[in-house]
Amino acid sequence: MIIPIAAFAVLSTVLFFPREQPDQLSEERGQSLFEPIESIETAEQNIEVEAPVELIAEAVTVAILVDVKGAVKHPGLYSMQDGDRLLDAVDKAGGYTEAADTRLLNHAQRLQDEYVVYVPVAGEEPPVYEQPATAASSSSDSSTSKVNINTANESDFQTLPGIGPSKAMAIVQYREEHGAFSQLDGIKNVSGIGDKTFEKLEPHIILN
């Protein structure tokens, strides 16, 4: 009787107890195999999300180069951002000197690449620089690129040869005080615009 009972006990141990151990091992192995895969997938997702943001930030930033001259504390070339105004360039150049005459400057004027900002001294006639054409004028054809002297603003006038900030403001002020021009050569009545300047302007201006 003792031998059959012992044999039955050994057989039961072999058949039933080992089944739990492989299941536990398979569960532990399954966890160790899947954890790294999830980590890799998460890292790939982070890379796909972050990369485009950096590229967009670089594309938005556009630098332009502006030459600031005259009565500023630190004249020179300055790198500005597209959309900056004339006053931003002056601030970057250290601000105005005590002798600066700022009455004829349009501080709100939008800067362009290769633009010259000249700050005159009081009583000085500022020099005229060839300024880059505006985006609107460069995209239009020759038949529509002429400036209408009765409707143009200061920025439009500064696209004309021989017209700087001071003369552009003088033209607008004259038009506001005396009304619209009736003839093209009527612009010669504006202080600072003589026959030579008008010869340069005539091919580029029109009336209503």
Closest CA to 75 of 55, 97, 57: 97
Give residue 54's pLDDT. 47
88 and 106 Cβ atoms separated by less than 8 Å: no
Q: What pLDDT, in 10s, does the model give residues 161-188?
A: 889 888 999 999 999 999 889 889 999 9
Query: Looking at the domain 131-208, which fold is it?
Result: DNA polymerase; domain 1 (1.10.150)
Mean pLDDT value across residues 42-47: 53
pTM value > 0.75:
no
- Quickly state the pLDDT bin for 51 (edges 50, 70, 90): very low
How confident is the model over 134-141, as a mean pLDDT? 45
Whole-angstrom distance, CA of residue 28 vs CA of residue 20 = 13
Matching residue, tokens 């600031």: 68
pLDDT higher than 80, residue 90: yes
For residue 138, name the pLDDT band (cuts at 50, 70, 90): very low
| pLDDT score, position 5 | 61
Which residue would you say has higher pLDDT here, 194 or 2?
194
CATH of range 62-127; options 3.10.20, 3.30.950, 2.40.50, 3.30.1380: 3.10.20
Which pLDDT tens digit goes with each residue over 60-74? 557 899 999 999 999
